[in-house]
Chain A
């Protein structure tokens, strides 16, 4: 399938696709090994009455005959003290029942408080109580789905509260207690380094890299002196270089995903997205 023949020795290369754009899909399956779908982005309805759009589900079923599929959610809100989003899990149930999934992943953060949307995603304090909460939920997810579950590091926008762990220590303990894997978003690491002074080398040196099964690469923007995780641009050379370093150091990584928001697709254009996937494969081979 197209450029995929050149992928020996390279992790699988994936890209975001949210459906409804057959011309883009036709080109992506030629250059990508897998597609990433956010169940909440392909849903319709309101509140608890969310369903995956029929026509999109059919598109994914057809795509699954050519490439692998990973589900990567946004709306689970695994870190909400008041409870996670059951409606989101029903979407995953629906998707997993219709399309074979390589795995299911989510962000290590929260998007609702007492059922009210924040309008954004916030990171958790790295405390024992937050760890207990997330671990209990990860175990329930692993019991619910037969595929592996991964959690992703998110970019932190607010100041860091006092905690019981450093960045790597929290993730290490989470994986140790639950056996879950990690999605390492290297662009988010760059955001944290820029915005809060995260020492990426030290972080990678302390992280149990055997738990990392997927990397995310994206391009964002800088506003008001802050680097923002908006997935709206080409990946910067520094981000691709960091991904290459992480791949070299990570024994169990299976895939590297170029993430782009559906809203950015018309702005970037199909050519740029296909080019980013191809460029990523070349850089990681």
Chain B
């Protein structure tokens, strides 16, 4: 890289750091001070966070709502805004977000994210079946989230959700030794 291009690169790296709220390498650059104190920087940070929230609420509504009801959605958004590996493409952002939560320490969040991830994959044309284990009845949880309500009490037990393009309802809930009703309402989130 030439010296001139290196100067442009250094400025772009500094602006990236300012946007992401990371430390900017020390230097005598009055322009960066101007940016740091500008309403434009604050506005850009606000807009990017707003778009990220909008996209996730649209493309991963179940997990977004479950995290919101747990009081953890804001911190998840902050993490996405800070991390260097957060993808820019909207479709990739949603999958990245779901991937981050399929092994969540909260079994409810992990189950919701895993189920929504399976639904998203099938909606994108994946023909393979996906199974997700739940430690409670998923139907009232998923239907409450679809309606925008907090996931209320659900009967504990060993449940298995199967998501497959080959199923007429796309999604089926099975309890050990007992085939329960399909939650056809979940079809509404398929895009």
Q: Which residues of A contact B (CB under 8 A)?
A: 40, 43-47, 50, 75, 80-82, 110-114, 116-120, 122, 124-125, 127-130, 132-133, 156-159, 161-162, 195, 223-226, 228, 230, 263
Contacts and interface: CB of A to CB of B under 8 A. Distances in A.
Contact of B15 (A40, A46, A130, A158): A158
Given A113-B16, A224-B43, A133 B5 contact: yes
B24 interface: no
Nearest to B4: A129
A161 B4 CA distance: 15
Interface stretch (B88-96, B132-140, B175-183): B88-96
A117 B88 contact: yes
Contacts of B46: 223-224
B86 to A, nearest CB: 7
B169 interface: no
A238 to B, nearest CB: 21
A58 B39 CA distance: 44
A115 to B, nearest CB: 9
Contacts of A118: 15-16, 19, 48, 88
Given A120-B44, A158-B40, A225-B39, A125 B11 contact: yes
B147 interface: no
Q: Which 5 A-B pairs have the closest CB atoms?
A: A117-B88, A129-B4, A119-B48, A81-B9, A46-B92
Nearest to B124: A44
18 contacts: A44-B124, A46-B96, A81-B5, A110-B12, A111-B88, A113-B15, A116-B16, A119-B52, A120-B47, A125-B8, A129-B5, A129-B8, A156-B40, A158-B38, A159-B40, A223-B43, A224-B39, A224-B43
Contacts of B91: 43-46
B26 interface: no
B34 A159 contact: yes
A46 B38 contact: no
* Interface-central residue, A40, A82, A110, A158, by most chain B CB under 10 Å: A158
A141 to B, nearest CB: 18
A37 B87 CA distance: 21
Nearest to A55: B125
Given A47-B87, A116-B84, 5 more contacts: A81-B6, A81-B8, A119-B51, A129-B5, A158-B40
A119 B19 contact: yes
Interface in B1-48: 1-2, 4-9, 11-13, 15-16, 19, 31, 34-35, 38-44, 46-48
A110 B92 CA distance: 19
A133 B8 contact: yes
Given A113-B13, A120-B47, A122-B15, A46 B89 contact: yes
B107 interface: no
Given A46-B89, A113-B15, A228 B5 contact: no
Contacts of A47: 87, 92
A161 B12 contact: no
Interface in B135-179: none
Given A46-B95, A122-B15, A133-B5, A157 B43 contact: yes
Nearest to B7: A129
Contact of B88 (A44, A112, A133, A156): A112
A162 B39 contact: no
A40 B42 CA distance: 27
A284 B88 CA distance: 36
A124 B9 CA distance: 11
B43 A119 contact: no
B8 A130 contact: yes
A223 B96 CA distance: 30
A231 to B, nearest CB: 12
Which of A113, A114, A128, A162: most chain B Cβ within 10 A? A113
A173 B31 CA distance: 24
Nearest to B13: A113
A46 B87 contact: yes
Of B2, B5, B8, B58, chain A has the most CB atoms within 10 Å of the CB of B8
Contacts of B89: 40, 43, 46, 50, 75
A110 B7 CA distance: 15
B81 interface: yes
Given A117-B86, A119-B81, A162-B31, A226 B43 contact: yes
